[in-house]
A and B are shown apart, each in its own frame.
Chain A
């Protein structure tokens, strides 16, 4: 089997690297979309490459071709990738699929554990509890400790931020990115960037609603210091460094239109990733189709 059949993966990887070049101060909305799509395309390309290896490996094992009715010697003179490589590829696919399923099941379990929120629910909590629960009976959950700390404007900012998450379906971006990172652990930084982008996005929407970016900045900073006091001891926060970055971004003037260039670069990277991935999927489809022609 020609190694060129999996060459599009190289293209995909290159595209992903370029897409990662979307700098943090590009529009968070563009960043979230580009990075999430690039992550999905990368996983799709890799999965089809692995599937291709698995099926091609199986097609070279005579026992399998006998049972499945496939033609033998599909690639005359081939056999460069033995059945063992195919087996390893299949195993990798199974592991990746299991990890993706675990992420999705975990998300569902968390939502069920919280139960119906129906718009807004205040709970007894010492730490800065405030998060958005998606779904038909979802809403915003806020801790009473946070409510007593923040003033009226800052509370409005927190609620606007969380409602923005719900309205704009940010949880989809995050779950998709986390699932991609579960399938392909090297994408973990991309998942972090996606989460950061959705937080910045919600911050800006809240700032527009409340009428002041500084009020949102203050709310984030004060909530962050509350978390700092009582957070999980010693554990490196997943969102490490993001709180300060969000506050600083809100205190700085909004991104100038010059951000178009990094966005264009990011989009170009995304297109390359999608191209490489779709070629890979195409190769897989062609190969599988050719199996059934004696």
Chain B
């Protein structure tokens, strides 16, 4: 996923979890049932449309109703978030230490020379 990752609220995450767990697109009614019936049908509909808007789910026609399926895998979402974190942590105050940092000018040559010595 190359664009910015949308942030998801708790209910949106829960709905997305339900869709990931399913092996076929689900109608809003099915999603509502899978969530345990704790939420109103209209609430679930709203969330699905919001996720559609954010590009996180697709929908297809299923008879006369729509069925929803995820547009991203869980791994894609996690990777997308990761890229955001990595992207913002080019700054000196990054607390997450990476295995290697960016190189100074001239450092690349020094590294290549060191590798030549190591590979000898």
Which residues of A are at the interface with B, using a C-beta cutoff of 8 A? 103, 106-107, 110-111, 113-115, 121, 123-125, 127-133, 141, 146, 158, 161-162, 165, 170-171, 174-175, 178, 182, 188, 195, 198-199, 214, 217-218, 220-228, 231-232, 235-244, 247-248, 251
Contacts and interface: CB of A to CB of B under 8 A. Distances in A.
B114 A248 contact: yes
B107 A241 contact: yes
Interface of A is mostly: helix
B36 to A, nearest CB: 23
Given A103-B93, A232-B102, A241-B104, A113 B81 contact: yes
B33 interface: no
Contacts of A131: 96-99
B53 to A, nearest CB: 22
Determine the interface band of chain B, counting residues with CB < 8 A from chain A.
Answer: 35 or more
Interface stretch (B21-29, B44-52, B82-90): B82-90
A90 B102 CA distance: 38
Interface of B: 75, 78-79, 81-86, 89-104, 107-108, 110-112, 114-115, 117-119
Contacts, number: 147
A110 B95 contact: yes
A165 B96 CA distance: 11
B79 A225 contact: no
Contact of B104 (A158, A165, A170, A237): A237
B110 to A, nearest CB: 5
